[in-house]
Structures are given as C-alpha cells and as structure tokens.
Chain A
Amino acid sequence: MDDYNKLLAENVLTEDKVVTYRLLSRTLQVHANTAKQMLYEFHRTQNARRPGAVHATYLVYGTKNAAGGLSAGQNGPDGDIDMTSSAPEVESLADTVPILTLSLVPEERLNESLAEYDEVSSIHVYSIGPHPTKDFALLADAANEVLGLGAGNDGNSIATITNPWVRRRERQGAGPKTAAASAVKPRAKPIVSKVAQALAPAKVKEEAKPPQPAQNTADKTTSSAPTKKPAPTLKRGAGSGGIMQAFSKAAAKPKKAQPAPTPPSGGDDSTMQAMSDDGEDDAEMPQPKARRTSGSKSRKEREEALKRMMEEDDDEEEEPSEKEESPVEEPMEEEPPVPELAKEEETEIGTTSTNGRRRGRRKVMRKKQITDTEGYLVTIQEPGWESFSEDEPPPRTKPKTISSTLPVQAASKKGGQKTGQGSIMSFFSKK
C-alpha cells in the first residue's frame, strides 16, 4: 500500500512530474477510483508535512447554477463565453435541458468554482504536481502519457467499465507491425524446414545447390512458403518485394552476404533467372562477408532459411527447365556460329552497390543468326538481360544467352549437362 507513496514522491517531488490518476492507475494496475484516493492521500499527507509541497487539480461534476455559469463566463477560459451568450437564445427557441458540467479546477480556485455549482455529484483529485497548475496544456501532456500505456497492455483488467458485448474483427488485417515479413516467418518455417530436411540428402547427391535468393525471398514476402512447388506466376507476382527482398535475403544467408540486386520492376522471368545467376556466383565465394540485417536472427533460423532456400530453388529450376528444354535447345543446335557473331551493346540498369561491390543487371543487344524456313540466313538483334558484378570483367565476351528468357538453361545446354544447376556451375567454372 505504500508503493504509491514512494512512487508519487519519486515522480512528483523528485522528478517534478505531474501525475494523473489514470497514470497512477495504469502504472500500479489499480482501479481508477483507488488511484484517485491515493492521490488525495498523498496530497493530504505531503501538505500536512509541508504546506504547498504538492498542488492538486480537481475534477468536479455536477449542475451549475445560472449565476455561477455567468461568473464562469467572465473569469473562466474562453470556451465558456460562447455558451453563456448563447444560452438565452436557445431557451427561447427550444426546450431547456439539464446541463451537467465536468470541469477541471486547480486547487487554488476550487472553492470559488464550487460556489458556481448548485449540486456536485462527484469530485475527486485529477492530478497532483509540484507546482500550481496554470496551463492545462501541460496537464494534457501528462494525460496523454496514459494513451500510450493503454494501447500497450490489455487494459481490461483495470478498466472501470467493461463491455461484455465487444466484438473484434475475426481476421485482423495486417496491422502496422505485421507488415514486415517477420510475423509470417514463424508459421511458415516449421513446415518448410521439415520438407527441406527430407529433401536435402537427395539433392546433395546430385550436386551442390546454389541458392536462388530472388525466388526464395519472394516467397517469404508472401506467406505462401509451405507450398513446395508454387506456380511460377505466383513467384513473379510476389517478386516485386523490392527492398524487402534485399533485406530478407541478406538476413537469410548465413555464409554469403551479397544482398540481391533489387530489380527495378521485379517483373519478368528473366529477372529471376539473372538473379539466380548471381546466387551461384555468391555460392562460390568462400569467405563470409559482413551481414547487414542478420543480427536479429538466430543461427538456427538462418540455417533453416538457407535450407528452405535451397529446396525452393531446386524445385524451381527443374520444372521450367524441363518445359523449356526444346525451345532453348533448338536454336542452339541449329546455329552453331552464333557465339562468334554475337555482339553486345550494353546499357546498365539497376546497379546496386552493396558491401563495396557493384552489382546489377545490364541490358545487352545480341545479334544472332538463324536459318529461316526458306533456308535463308537471317541476322536478328534481340535484347537480353545480363547481370554482372564488379569483380567480373564487365564486358563478357562469352555470350551467355540466346533466348532472352532463360539464360540459365541455355548455358546448361552448352555445358552438356542435364539439369539447370549443373550448367550454371560449369558456366562459372569455365571462366
């Protein structure tokens, strides 16, 4: 019971603060009415010890008399003046109704304020502070402190009036805090990691799996992580996570710390593939680099994320590669001289600089020759995307792609290996 005395002495006498009954009630988790009595008692005992040590404001509620209303209009705050001047008019036009007045009164003016009341139905100490209350704006600041507290805790335990019929929305929309992907992660992870563990051994046998960060992180931003083989279109739509991708990728990679280049539009398939290319690149770098946003994540979480990432990209790679094998293959076999003829014009787009390394994508124009249906040799130019990083020699003499859509698969064909991943590996190792 003496808690409050200590607390109030600390806040009011030592720290020069104004304490309202609501703040006290929230802080001590006591009923508002008890808090009002505590304020009164503290005020009484302190002033008995040393008069004028603390100053109180009172909240008075009741019916004012007509004369009292007038005098309030004269010396009260501006709000009162309108009312008193308008009161006679209202009476002439309309029914008169009882007016109850709730007013906040500093200790010094309590007696004269009370004189304006015909009847007071309730009075209590609103706040106490070390100085006489002159400006209620200061009091408002003190009162506003409670709003933050009230939002934080449940509030129901000490609410004066509860409402048993209160209804909340069943499915809450993504609140301001859950906008970040963090809220989604705990749900998604267990399933994914299990799957990843089950599938990991098989994959390891095949070959080392390069992570495919773009798709993985895209997945993370949507909450569709549990689906093992999401449709490519879904990924594409989700790929627009922009900056989020960069962050979550950095957080998710335990060994490598190259955040993905943020795609300008996050749009098409070629973007994805280009970035997977990058991922491969990263995989070959042995030493870990500084991580940016991984501080908050535990190592285990990161490992899980990595597993998931690997698992995801694996599924990812296999499916399209099977589908698009034939279209990619065809031009390759038909036009062996393409590499020699190809010439690139470059424009850089979406360069990002992370960890001191410049990486990004550039648009290149490639020439290629094909034999058309009538047997003529036709040279066509087509744009393609190519990603690069600074440590690579910027102009790649070796043309990576033929079709603009699937650089990875194209390269894989040249390497003569079966799967997309293998081809990427060989592509880089050749360099």
Chain B
Amino acid sequence: MVTLDEIADLGLLQKPSGNEPSPLERSESNYKPLDSFALPKDRQYQQQFADIYFLRLAKIKPAVEAVANAAWEDTFLGGETAQQMERVLDVRQGQLCWVIGTVYMDMPLKPSVLEDVSKDRWISAPITTDHYYTEDGGESMMLEDDSGRIRLVGSILKDYFVVTGCIIAVMGTENVNGEFEVIDLKFADLPPQPARWSLSTPSSSSTAKKNTRKIKNEDVEMSDLAQASKKIAIVSGLEFSGTDTSYTMELNLLLEFLLGDALHTPVQTELSQISRLIIAGNSITKTDDATTTTTTTTTPGPPKKPHTKKYGYDSSSYNPLPSQLLDTFLAELLPTMPITLLPGVLDPATASYPQQPIHSAMFPKARQYGPPPAAAGGADEPPGWLDAATNPWEGEIEGWRVLGTGGQNLDDICKYVDSEDRLGMMEAMCRWRCSAPTAPDTLWCYPFQDDEPFVMKECPHLYFVGCQPEFGTKIIEGPQGQMVRLILVPSFAATREIVLIDTETLDVSRVKISA
C-alpha cells in the first residue's frame, strides 16, 4: 500500500531545481561470442542427415557409458549380472544387459517425409502442429544405433522426458515379443563446466578508455557484490508489427527504461548497470501472409499466386514497417547499450536450425554499429556492438558461459511430451547434453557432416530459451558440482516482461511493463 504523500519526496514531483544531473555512464559489457553455430557461407544441402545421428552418438556415448558403468556395474538381478552390449543387435532374448543408443519416437501425428512424398505434398513451410503425441497412446519408442533398432517398453519410460535424438543407456531384458523391457535408464548428465573467465579476462585492461570511474566501480564490485554488480537484460518476442499497435506504448516504455530516460536518478543509476541487451528471437512479428500459410496445413496446397509476376521489391506483398520499427528501436538503443540479436522462428533468417544471423541489410540505421564488413574470420576483431548472432548462440558474458536459443528447440520438444514443465525439459536437454535433440527429425536442421554442434561439450552457466509463453527459472546442479541457471524468457508481446540477470550472482529479476 503506497499513497502519493509517502513518495512525493522522491525527487521528480517538484519544481525544476535548475541543476542538471550529471550524465551516468553505462557499465562495460565483457563479451566474447563463440561461433559454435555459424555455418559456412557455401553451404551444401546434398548430404544425408544420418551423419548427425552418427556424430551425436559417437560424441555422447562415452559419457553415457561412464555413467551407466558406474551405476550398473555388477548389478545382480534375478540370478544374473548385467552386461554391457556394444550394439543394439547384440541384445539376446532373456539376457540381462544394458545398451546405449539413440532414441527414436514413432508418433502418430509426427510429420513424415515419406508420407509427404507418397501423397505428393510439396510444401515449403514447416508443418506446425501443436503436438505429435495422441491422448490414446499409439506412440512407440525405439532405441537405435548404427547396427539396428529395438522397441523399448516399460513403465519407467514414463518417468522421464525422452524425445527423438537423445542418447540414453537402458538396462533390461528382451522379452518374447522382441521388445526390450527397460528396468532403468541413464543419461549423460551435465557436461563438464568451464570455470568462470575461461575465455575472457575479467578486467578491462585491454580497453584504453578505462577510466578512474571504472576502477572505482570494480572496487565496489569486489567489496560489495550486491550493490554494484552489472546486469544483462534479456527480452524476446518484441514482435514489432506493421498492423498490431496494441502494445506500441509498452515497447516505447521498454526503450525508455533501457535507455535510462525514464524514472529518477537512483533507479537510473541501477539501470546504468545493465551492460547488455540480448534479444532472444522473434523481433519481428509474422505477417498476415505467414499466418495463412501456417493455418492451412490441414488443406495443403500451393499458396495463392499473384496474378502478375513481379521481380524484386513488391510493396503489395511485403510490409517493410516491422523491420523499420525494429531498426529504429535498435538504433535508438545502440548508442548506450550493446545488443546481441538472436533470430527466432518469425525473424527473417534461415528457417532451419541453427539459424544464421539476420542480415545487416535489415537494419539500415542500426548496422553502423555492426561489425566491420571485413571482420569475417578475423579472430582478434572485437565483436560488433550490434552482434547479430546465430540461434542457438553460445558465448561468454562477464565470464559466464551462456547458451541461448530462440525457443524452437524447446517448442519442438514440447510437442513430444504431454507436459507443461518447460523448465524440466530445459533441464533434460542439459542432462542429455544436447541442445536440439529433435533436429533433424522434427526440427529443421542443416545437414551437418563433420560436426554436431548441438552436443553440449561444455556446460553453460546460464541457459536461456526465448519466446516462451511464460517466465520461469531455476538452478540445476550436476554430479560434479555444475550449476546451471535455466531461464525461460517470456515473449514480450504476450507478457510485457523482460528478464534482468545479475552478472555476479546470476540472480534473476523480472520487469513488467504495463501501460
């Protein structure tokens, strides 16, 4: 309960005093992006997708093996000792054993390319169904490796989130039907976590602009962490729209909040500690065109063709306003704050995972803060002030390893599992050591040949997923003391919320903007 009288002395409800407040200075952002998910410029799409599964299994299997060995070694059950089988095909009926492989979920509603081909359906947009499972069951789970595949049964499977593409170890026996009765199953669990500041250095000694004020700030950080630690702001789903203006005011307030124009000096000082903004996908709303194509999935057919063929820019089919609004937003904010921009499912970037950065041509005004054009490949070049990044994106911010996505990976997993526990699924992804297990099965993906970047080689300290229906956060811990802060970043268009993360404690707070 607050009344106006109590807060009247907060400073701004009075006459102009005549003395101008001194300008505040924003904290430096210590930032080192990793290009783990950058694709080569000359991409080939001729290859098969099987290599991804092969590479993933090869990369994660040792870790799963270690976990399974530790757990099941000398397991004595029903007069039998469990033995490891190298390959799925080696499993013999009635023999207690454990085996490692890739899960494949066969689900009734899952899109199937074979079905598309046989029904002569050629569509260019990904099919979007709400979920792949059905209420009455009908799905089956298989375990496969390069030798073969075996059906998994058992009630324990219901206790875990399991989706296509994750690598698990299962212990049990093959029954008379040729199915594998699972008694227990194990994941790789969290990968090793790098120490803080493993890639970057904490002090800003490299920057010549370091001044006394900065030193003072750092001293404060050493002594009193809670007071002056920096913050990162994460927002997703800004969804600048050419038609829907219902939350324009909120976007304005968000801009003023981040700029530090709003509010009064003590709060502005706090806001000046926000050293970086991460936009986690869906900066531009889908056009009406896109909605029609996604909703017509039940009656697939060629999209309505325009009457006349027109090459180049067609103002009747393209509304430039959303990208202009985004550009203005970025250009306003960039002078005071560096921005990392991840593409999302609605953004004008590649459709398949990993999404490549939004091209700077989309930001005629903001791109002057982008990386220099020749910087491609230059290792010692500092990243762009506006860093158009990949999705997923990995990097180090203030020494913390950060992994973030625009949300497609989690959304796709949610279609497999009849649950709303998105945080649990995020946790499961970390424990599977795979940030996009359902690629390439149901999540469109580049056909990798030599590397499987979705395997988490190193455990992030902070893992955020953008464009989610609501906020959520928790900390999970690993067997070797790893700590991961998981954050579901809500879509701003739906919730009007942004997330602030303290870069010393990784504590999270939310800011809700209501106009």
Contact = CB atoms under 8 A, between A and B. Distances in A.
Interface of A: 1, 4, 21-22, 25, 30-34, 36-38, 40-41, 59, 61-62, 65, 72, 76-77, 79-80, 82-83, 86, 89-90, 93-95, 97-104, 110-111, 114-115, 117-126, 136-137, 139-140, 143-144, 147, 150-151, 155-156, 159-173, 175-176
Contacts of B457: none
B61 interface: no
A136 B369 contact: no
A118 B2 contact: yes
A165 B263 contact: no
Nearest to A80: B514
Contact of B3 (A34, A72, A114, A144): A114
A163 B25 contact: yes
A40 B261 CA distance: 16
Contact of A125 (B12, B26, B328, B370): B12
A134 to B, nearest CB: 12
Given A94-B473, A111-B4, A165-B29, A159 B495 contact: no
Contacts of A38: 16
A103 B513 contact: yes
Given A161-B268, A173-B367, A166 B513 contact: no
A169 B368 contact: yes
B329 to A, nearest CB: 8
B475 interface: yes
B10 A140 contact: no
A160 B259 contact: yes
Interface in B254-285: 256-257, 259-268, 271-272
Contacts of A139: 249, 515
B346 interface: no
Contacts of B266: 121-122
B151 to A, nearest CB: 32
B382 interface: yes
A136 B331 contact: no
B10 A122 contact: yes
A102 B369 contact: no
Contact of B272 (A82, A161, A165): A161
B267 A115 contact: no
Contact of B16 (A37, A90, A151, A156): A37
Contact of A103 (B25, B252, B473, B515): B515
Contacts of B264: 33, 36, 122-124
Contact of B245 (A1, A137, A173): A137
B357 to A, nearest CB: 15
Contacts of B368: 168-169, 172-173, 175
Contacts, number: 260
B12 A167 contact: no
Range of interface residues on B (Cβ < 8 Å): 35 or more
10 contacts: A34-B20, A61-B262, A90-B471, A95-B473, A100-B510, A101-B514, A140-B252, A163-B336, A169-B371, A173-B367
Contacts of B29: 165
B512 A162 contact: no
Nearest to A67: B1
B70 interface: no
Contacts of B257: 102
Contact of B259 (A59, A143, A161): A161
Question: Which one of B249, B271, B328, B334 has the highest number of Cβ atoms from chain A below 10 Å of its Cβ?
Answer: B249
Contacts of B312: none
Contact of B260 (A93, A115, A123, A161): A161
B109 interface: no
Contacts of A41: 14-16
Contacts of B260: 160-161
Contacts of A94: 423, 472-474
A18 B439 CA distance: 51
B79 interface: no
Interface in B206-260: 207, 209, 211, 245-250, 252-253, 256-257, 259-260
Given A37-B14, A125-B12, A166-B369, A159 B385 contact: no
B249 A143 contact: yes
Contact of A120 (B10, B18, B256, B424): B10
B94 interface: no
A40 B12 contact: yes
Contact of B385 (A31, A89, A167, A175): A167
A303 to B, nearest CB: 35
B108 interface: no
Given A22-B261, A161-B25, A162-B336, A99 B514 contact: no
Contacts of A32: 261-262
B17 interface: yes
Name which of B252, B260, B372, B373 has the most chain A CB atoms within 10 A of its CB: B252
A125 B257 CA distance: 14
B21 interface: yes
B13 A124 contact: yes
B362 interface: no
B55 interface: no
Contacts of A99: 497, 509-512
B23 A22 contact: no
B77 interface: no
Nearest to A143: B252
A151 B333 CA distance: 11
B7 interface: yes
Given A90-B472, A163-B335, A83 B512 contact: yes
A41 B14 CA distance: 6
Closest 9 CB pairs of A and B: A161-B260, A124-B12, A140-B248, A122-B263, A37-B16, A160-B260, A136-B249, A163-B26, A140-B249
Contact of B332 (A111, A151, A164): A151
B337 interface: yes
A159 B23 contact: yes
A101 B20 contact: no
Contacts of B248: 137, 140, 144
Contact of A102 (B21, B23, B262): B262
Given A22-B256, A165-B26, 9 more contacts: A25-B261, A30-B20, A99-B511, A102-B511, A136-B249, A139-B515, A160-B23, A163-B338, A166-B336
Contacts of B334: 166
B245 A160 contact: no
A100 B261 CA distance: 17
Contacts of A172: 368
Contacts of B249: 104, 136-137, 139-140, 143
A161 B23 contact: yes
Nearest to B248: A140
